[in-house]
Amino acid sequence: MDLRTIDASPSAEERLAVDSVLGAPESGWFGGERTPLDGHVAIGGLSLAESRRHLLLPALHALQARVGSISPAGLGYLATRLDLPPAEAYGVASAYALFSFEPTPSVVVHVCDDVACRAAAGGDPTDELAQRHGPAGSGTAVTWWPSPCLGHCEHGSAALVQVAGVRGGRGSIAPFAIGDMDRLVAMGAELDVEDLAVPLALVPQAGAGSTRLLRRVGQVDPASLDSYRAAGGYRSLRRALDLGPAGVIAELKDAKLLGRGGAAFPTGAKWEAVARNPLRPHYFVANADESEPGTFKDRVLLDHDPYALIEALTIAGITTGAEKGFVYLRGEYPVAARRLEHAAAEARNRGLLGVDVMGSGLTFDLEVRQGAGAYIAGEETALFNSLEGRRPEPRNKPPYPVDRGLFDKPTGVNNVETLLSVLDILAVGAAAYAAIGTPDSTGTRLFCLSGRVEHPGLYEVPMGTTLGALLEMAGGVAGGRPLRAVLMGGAAGSFVGPGDLDLPLSFEGVRAAGTTLGSGVVVVLDDTVDTTAFVGRIAQFFRDESCGQCVPCRVGTQRQEEILGRLAAGRPLGSVDDELALLADLDQVMRDASICGLGQTASSVVMSALRRGLIGNGAPQGNGRNP
């Protein structure tokens, strides 16, 4: 490669930030002081550079946290250290929302204005903020920007605070009121994110005894391995080691566990495919890039029961023959990141991770990696690219991850809820697990209730529970107002209406009704919510989160947003019917021709809203039902 490095000297802070991730420079050729040996030797080359590239994202995080932005000199130093072309490094970094490339105030507050908080607020949650503290991006010491969903939906408002400095990092505030912003502005650079209170998790069923995935939330000390073990932790790993890989896979198949990530793929079959693949090494990834608007279940589980994921991922690793695992956690979950790191370290200290897991002679270890503000990184192949230090762009499938995934090797990937369900299956046995729920949708399922509901929070119910029963558990519509619609599944989901309360929440139930469980999002809208603006926010979300790789999604999401803007303003191009025809064409090309699920579902909510008369004057299009 014709590496030309950026001709600017990094500051001492920038060097320290990068070196905190990469260690001291190996030689004068890669960022260190020149020595006489450097005159005769350089060890480098493409294969070495490729093998280190995965450290790009962690090092970018370090620069952003310490300096507050990625400067040309900082990126140049990082690129030199990794022997990576600066243009490539810039291309990767600029795909993430949490990195900035211009000098930025040392405190940046990302304020959620996404669907759940919008529904809860009954309007744009940032309006008051803008009036009091100036428009987005203003402010010299402290600034704010609107943000897509931050995963604190049950609180109805949330902010992610990014602070630059020696003790820089990210912290969360939820609920987030205007007074919080006043306080942040007053503190300025004095703020230490570690001092921010950990947001509570609203789990109305906590301690009720009827829950399985949620049973330790609020009951164990998330910092204490002993507390976790006292609550039954690591019994599932013990059982998995006793059963051996074939036994574990048989249990998953008998339990009929389907993945909770949206595609409902049989987990046992996936694990078996990885385990049997002769190519080595294998990897296993926990997808904790929970970014679907309205979803907060991973946050609750990982903030309050982090050891459960460590144990579950360990089981996945030893079952599928992976010695290395990754937790890919969205960058907006700083508390979960700290707690998972701590839990992994404790587990390692106690022989539950590393070269001899629980005395089995088997090796498995894991790393926690954080995203940096990119919904698309939750798509499994984009996630692999992100972990590898490439742009978070989905790959073409096939090949599938079980054949060629992370680092082009066989890879298992499951989301957090699926992995935690494995713990439960191994704890109670496949038969007992399969007895819960419906014959085709076994076990329990988590639902994230937010919006205009009396008791928002994370709920766990057996598969097949009706939507009405779930809403009833949550106290129904807030204030007893009329139900207008429920957004199921998040931004990639669809609406159901007041007539759908008998909808059974099972894979087969929602499929028959033309909707989706998705990531368990249930955003309740009453008659006060401006549904046109609500749907417009979803269109904006896809426009902002498209990776830009394929034409249907890159331009289609832009055009979809424009049309909704015209409809909201009552200024259609031509007739309303022309606009609807255009939306239908966009829907078809995005669904049919996009590379990945983001583009394929980017029009789902919009089309569903049209059918239900939730856009503009409220006249439903078609029969009002999901197809």
Partner 1 sequence: MYAVDPRRSTSAQWADVWMGIDVGSDIALANTVGREIIRAGLVNTEFVRRATTGFEEYAEAVEPFTLAEGERLTGVPADLIASLAHDYARADRAQLCWTLGITEHHSATDNVLALCDLSLLTGHVGRFGSGLVPLRGQNNVQGGGDMGALPNKFPGFQDVENDDIRAKFDARWGVSVPPTRGWHLSQMFDAMEHGELRALYVLGENPAQSEADTPRAVHLLEGLDHLVVQDIFLTKTAQLADVVLPAALAAFESEGTVTSSERRVQRLRPALQPPEGARDDLEIICELARRLGSDWGHPSAEEVWDECRSLSPMHTGMRYDRLESLGGIQWPCPSEDHPGTPFLHGRLWAEDPDKRGNPAPFMPVAFEPPLDELSEEFPLRLTTGRRLDSFNTGVQSNGYASPLRRPETLDLSPEDMASLGVGEGEVVRITSRRGSISAPVHLERSLRPGLAFMTFHFPDQVNTNVLTLDTWDPKSGTAEFKATAIRVERLPDAVGAAPVLETAEAG
Partner 2 sequence: MTTLAPAPTPVALRRRIELSIDGEAVTVAEGTTILQACRTLGIEVPTLCYLETLAPVNVCRVCVVEVEGSRALVPSCSRPVAPGMVVRTGSERVRTSRRMVLELLASSVDLSTAGGDVHRWIDEYGANADRHGPAGGPTARDRAHAGHHEASAVGEAATVAQVVKRDNDQYVRDYSKCILCYKCVEACGEEAQNTFAIAVAGRGFDARISTEFDVALPDSACVYCGNCIGVCPTGALMFVSEHDLRASGEWDESRQEVTRTVCPYCGVGCNLELHVQDNRIVKVTSPLDHDVTRGNLCVKGRFGFEFAQGG
Beta bridge partners of 108: 143, 162
Nearer to partner 1, 55 or 615 (CB): 55
Q: What are phi and psi of 201, to 5 degrees?
A: -110, 130
94 is a contact residue toward partner 2 (CB under 8 A): yes
136 is a contact residue toward partner 2 (CB under 8 A): yes
Token code pair at residue 52: 């280190």
Nearer to partner 1, 63 or 240 (CB): 63
**Region of 16-24, 234-242, 400-408, 537-545 interacting with partner 2 (CB under 8 A):** 537-545
Q: Are strands 142-147 and 107-112 parallel, antiparallel or unpaired?
A: parallel
Q: Specify burial of residue 246 (Cβ count, 10 A radius: 0-12, 13-18, 19+).
A: exposed
User: Pick from partner 2, partner 1, none: which does 302 bind, CB < 5 to 8 A by kind?
Assistant: none
18 is a contact residue toward partner 2 (CB under 8 A): no
Quote the CA–CA distance of 52 and 309 in Å, as a whole number: 26
Read out DSSP for 184-239?
HHHHGGG--GGGSPPPP---TTTT-S--STTTTTTTS-TT-HHHHHHTTTTHHHHH
Quote the CA–CA distance of 282 and 271 in Å, as a whole number: 11
137 is a contact residue toward partner 2 (CB under 8 A): yes
383 is a contact residue toward partner 2 (CB under 8 A): no
Is residue 362 within 8 Å of 321, Cβ to Cβ? Answer: no
Token code pair at residue 566: 């015209």
User: Pick from partner 1, partner 2, none: which does 8 bind, CB < 5 to 8 A by kind?
Assistant: partner 1
- Among 20, 27, 224, 588, which residue interacts with partner 2 (rule: CB under 8 A)? 588
Q: Are strands 169-173 and 365-370 parallel, antiparallel or unpaired?
A: unpaired
Handedness of CA 117, 119, 120, 122 (dihedral sign): positive
- The owner of tokens 């009951």 is 219
User: Pick from partner 1, partner 2, none: which does 43 bind, CB < 5 to 8 A by kind?
Assistant: partner 1
The SS3 assignment for 24 reads coil
The residue among 441, 462, 433, 427 whose CA lies nearest residue 311 is 427
User: Pick from partner 1, partner 2, none: which does 578 bind, CB < 5 to 8 A by kind?
Assistant: partner 2
373 is a contact residue toward partner 2 (CB under 8 A): yes
The SS3 assignment for 116 reads helix
- Among 88, 124, 508, 530, which residue interacts with partner 2 (rule: CB under 8 A)? 88
The residue among 238, 413, 207, 227 whose CA lies nearest residue 306 is 227
Quote the CA–CA distance of 487 and 452 in Å, as a whole number: 11
- Among 29, 554, 576, 625, which residue interacts with partner 2 (rule: CB under 8 A)? 554
Question: Which residues of the shown chain bind partner 1 in the complex (CB under 8 A)?
Answer: 1-3, 5-10, 29, 31, 34, 36-48, 73, 76-77, 80
Token code pair at residue 440: 């085709």
User: Pick from partner 2, partner 1, none: which does 29 bind, CB < 5 to 8 A by kind?
Assistant: partner 1
Nearer to partner 2, 190 or 578 (CB): 578
Minimum CB separation from partner 2 for residue 429, in Å? Answer: 35
573 is a contact residue toward partner 2 (CB under 8 A): yes
| Region 438-457 residues binding partner 2, contact defined as CB under 8 A | none
Minimum CB separation from partner 1 for residue 53, in Å? Answer: 16
Is residue 248 within 8 Å of 323, Cβ to Cβ? Answer: no
276 is a contact residue toward partner 2 (CB under 8 A): no
29 is a contact residue toward partner 2 (CB under 8 A): no
Quote the CA–CA distance of 552 and 440 in Å, as a whole number: 35
- Among 255, 374, 406, 529, which residue interacts with partner 2 (rule: CB under 8 A)? 374
Minimum CB separation from partner 2 for residue 231, in Å? Answer: 39
135 is a contact residue toward partner 2 (CB under 8 A): no
| Region 389-408 residues binding partner 2, contact defined as CB under 8 A | 391, 396
The SS3 assignment for 526 reads strand
Nearer to partner 2, 314 or 557 (CB): 557
User: Pick from partner 2, partner 1, none: which does 39 bind, CB < 5 to 8 A by kind?
Assistant: partner 1
Largest pairwise CA distance in the chain: 79
Minimum CB separation from partner 2 for residue 589, in Å? Answer: 4
Quote the CA–CA distance of 543 and 302 in Å, as a whole number: 29
Quote the CA–CA distance of 82 and 51 in Å, as a whole number: 9
The SS3 assignment for 212 reads coil
**Region of 340-348, 355-363, 593-601, 618-626 interacting with partner 2 (CB under 8 A):** 593-601
Minimum CB separation from partner 1 for residue 42, in Å? Answer: 4
Read off the DSSP letter of residue 9.
P
Minimum CB separation from partner 1 for residue 84, in Å? Answer: 12
Minimum CB separation from partner 2 for residue 70, in Å? Answer: 9
Q: What are phi and psi of 547, to 5 degrees?
A: -75, -20
87 is a contact residue toward partner 2 (CB under 8 A): yes
User: Pick from partner 2, partner 1, none: which does 10 bind, CB < 5 to 8 A by kind?
Assistant: partner 1
Minimum CB separation from partner 1 for residue 57, in Å? Answer: 20
Dihedral (C-alpha) 614, 617, 619, 622: value to the nearest 10 degrees?
Answer: -60
145 is a contact residue toward partner 2 (CB under 8 A): yes
Token code pair at residue 458: 């994370």
547 is a contact residue toward partner 2 (CB under 8 A): yes
556 is a contact residue toward partner 2 (CB under 8 A): yes
Token code pair at residue 587: 């829907």
546 is a contact residue toward partner 2 (CB under 8 A): yes
User: Pick from partner 1, partner 2, none: which does 136 bind, CB < 5 to 8 A by kind?
Assistant: partner 2
- Among 19, 559, 576, 624, which residue interacts with partner 2 (rule: CB under 8 A)? 559
Nearer to partner 2, 28 or 90 (CB): 90
How big is the site for partner 2, counted in residues (CB under 8 A)?
73
Q: Are strands 411-415 and 444-451 parallel, antiparallel or unpaired?
A: unpaired
**Region of 10-18, 31-39, 202-210, 559-567 interacting with partner 2 (CB under 8 A):** 559-567
Nearer to partner 1, 34 or 276 (CB): 34
- DSSP run (H or E) holding 303: helix 297-304
235 is a contact residue toward partner 2 (CB under 8 A): no
Q: Own/partner pairs for 128-135, CB < 8 Å, 24+ apart?
A: 128/178, 129/178, 129/181, 132/178, 132/181, 132/182, 133/181, 133/185
